[in-house]
Amino acid sequence: MSSAHATGVWDYIIIGAGSSGCVLANRLSSDPACRVLLLEAGGSARNFWLKLPVGYFRTIYDKRFSWQFPTEPQVETGGRTIVWPRGKVLGGSSAINGLLYIRGQHADYDDWERLGATGWGYRNVLPFFKRSERYAGKPSQYHGIDGELSVSDLRNDHPYCRAWLQAGHEAGFEATDDFNGAQDSGLGAYQLTLRGHWRCSAADAFLTPIASRPNLTIATGAFVRRIVIEKGRAVGVEWVRDGQQVAGRAEREVLLAAGALQSPQLLQLSGVGPAALLARHGIGVQVDAPDCGQNLQDHYQARVVVKLKHRRSLNDDVRNPLKLMQMGAQWAFGQRGPLTVGAGQVGGMVCSQHAEGGRPDLLFNVMPLSVDKPGDPLHTFSGFSASATQCRPRSMGHVGIRSDDPAVPPRIVTNYLTEPHDVKVLVSGLEILRDIYQRPSFRDLLAKDEYAPGHGIQSNAELEDYARNKGGTVFHASGTCRMGSDERAVVDPELRVRGIDRLRVVDASVMPRMVSTNTNAAAILIGEKGAALIQSAA
């Protein structure tokens, strides 16, 4: 296996301990005769702020805990470089995300099947969602209660969030009490990945409880350089750890779960990708896969931030010692309150005027606070925020290597808002949010000034300019190793890389189209169903 020092032989080598990789490690190592190696370039997730639910405000842009991938500047979004953070610890992005557990619309998965991902329709995937889940709420046919991933209903009842929901109903939008149940649209409260006082990341749920299995090896600080392919077959992996290049052999399969940015990057570095791109960097072509790195999708959001008449925002509470003590007591003694919140307390999915077939095309996230971006201090005024995101953007980008050096981040072209339809839906979302704020249940709570976009911005053209220049990522990169039944699909419906034996991609990169909501629940599903496919083929 090249000149790298061989460190051992396993049945399966998993690259990446993120949402999908942790599930794979758990399920495959449940067979004591099966030897599993899990490689993670980041470190452990023992920091307090990684455990505290609201701690994502501090960790998501902290370079100790997340990779910071710059995107290419583009005219359509104001010539800005937008940074995409991705998890750099065990648990991957599930350790730094906003904790929302929302699977997406039922129709999202039926779309996958229609696009050639046979066996991935909603009825097929629901049992795998339930298998992973330990839901603390009301039992139903849509939730699991015996799985490892702890899911909780919202534990912070803020009166202004209740007022916003009521205002949304006054604007004509229906209510739902469970986005993961029978009614996947409307407005309501979000569910979160919480266990007791703490965040429940994929590592907390699936990895930590089984880390002592003798047949499971977990290597942190292992920066993978390439997948070793011999005669059209994946036989092992090379990585660097503590400055030393090492390698391991996989007797059954190599499983790539490095995420929507680094899975296509590693495939390309290993000779699977667009032939012209590989040749440009002196990489021998194992498989000419022109779509490897294409089909990049992400949710792009813009927000309406208002100022409140009364000091009832969390912006105010965090600067009030008595309120801070109250929050701490709520969390410590009741496992409730503002310290348990995620990136959205309430919100939902509704139809814009451009929705097709009555299917919601807007996703809202609402918080009783305001900030320019996570990691920045909360505003000093009493703020309240609501963001609009197009559920299924038509604009798609691509990811490609810049060098044959794995340490060089890939080139990320987002192509945000390059499709006119995406802009129209986003502008409509901002108009709807403004309308909800002016409904009877909320309008009397408002101060005179709107912080963003601001009362001076009113026309569609002005709102479009605001969205292009002030909007940003919702951290949902997906789709770059598309699953399908056509010849250009990077992986087939069994997640096997076309043209290479014993190599699969099992993460959010395989989504033919991104789900309408946050992607973490779907990434865990992909790990769950992927493990079942692997075990059935063994």
Q: Which residues are catalytic?
A: 476
Helix axes 420-437, 159-170, angle to 10 degrees: 110
- Report d(CA 389, CA 85) in Å as an integer: 18
Please provide the distance, in angstroms rounded to a whole number, between the alpha carbons at the two ends of the chain: 24
CA distances in angstroms from 43 to 63, 90, 201, 387, 462, listed in the order given: 12, 6, 14, 32, 44
Cβ proximity of 518 and 342 under 8 Å: no
Q: Which residues pair with 150 in a beta bridge?
A: 134
- Report d(CA 122, CA 184) in Å as an integer: 12
Identity of the residue numbered 404: D
Per-residue HEC secondary structure of 222-286 comes to CEEEEEEEECCEEEEEEEEECCEEEEEEEEEEEEECCHHHHHHHHHHHCCEECHHHHHHCCCCCC
Phi, psi torsion values for 189, nearest 5 degrees:
-90, 150
- Report d(CA 323, CA 317) in Å as an integer: 5
Identity of the residue numbered 35: R
Q: Which is nearest to 379 in space by CA: 296, 425, 298, 317? A: 317
